[in-house]
Amino acid sequence: MGSFLNCLAWRLAHGEAVSKGRSHCPACGHTLAARDLIPLFSWLLLRGRCRYCGGRISPRYPAAELVTALAYVSVAARYGLTLDALRGLVLLSLLIAASLVDLEEGWIPDRLVLAGIGAFVLLALPDAAPLAALGRGLFGALAVTLPLLALVLLADRLLGRETMGGGDIKLLFMLGLYFDWKLNLLLLIAACLLGLGLALILGRARPGAPFPFGPALAAAAWFVLLAGRGVLDWYLGLFF
């Protein structure tokens, strides 16, 4: 799945057909053989270089493969073989692909957002009360997106520049469908903290510099999937 998401993100970012053609080196275009496509190991054995042209292969590819493996194992361990696990895995897969495009190109493909909305509707159908599940998701998504959208529009007007990309808000709406409004609020706070931390680590905290918020949203969604309910119970327990 990690290799597939790398490939999907690369093709979306470069406008190539998603389902056509064999994997090839982005530098020299040489078609890759099976031994070049073993997740993690091919990159390690080739020391991050293309076998055919010697061009450097970004460590982002093996990193994404590792993150995907960890995401899948952790969600399966947390939810078992359930519909909730499937929902979480579909969501995280789309978020990893969106993050890879965002890191490379600075935008988020609408097709991933639409796929997330479609999967949410499909996976609500087997629920005991499908309409209630759809309504809960929609309310959860709007509960964070609408106030944020109002805030962003206000800040844009006051500062005279774009403060948050439209792609980030669309992505937030899509992933908001998968959580109730309380978890969405926690997710937004976690994403802001993670985004700030990432910006500091990457040295991109200059005011006005565009920052890819997609990876922060993806990491926050992963955190909320695994620990969100526990964190909420602990926090509310401080007051009640």
Residue 57 binding Zn ion, by CB under 5 A: no
Residue recorded with tokens 């990159």:
43
> Closest separation between CB of residue 3 and Zn ion, Å?
17
Residue 177 binding Zn ion, by CB under 5 A: no
Angle at alpha carbon of residue 123, lines to 178 and 6, rounded to 5° = 70
Residues in the chain: 240
Residue 46 binding Zn ion, by CB under 5 A: no
Residue 33 binding Zn ion, by CB under 5 A: no
Residue 53 binding Zn ion, by CB under 5 A: yes
Nearest residue (CB) to Zn ion, 47 versus 206: 47
Angle at alpha carbon of residue 109, lines to 108 and 115, rounded to 5° = 120
> Closest separation between CB of residue 38 and Zn ion, Å?
17
| Window of 54-62, 65-73, 122-130, 230-238 that interacts with Zn ion by CB under 5 A | 54-62
Nearest residue (CB) to Zn ion, 50 versus 221: 50
Burial class (CB in 10 A: 0-12, 13-18, 19+), 210: exposed
d(CA 99, CA 91): 12
Residue 50 binding Zn ion, by CB under 5 A: yes
d(CA 128, CA 124): 9
Residue 150 binding Zn ion, by CB under 5 A: no
Binding site for Zn ion (CB under 5 A): 25, 27-28, 50, 52-53, 55
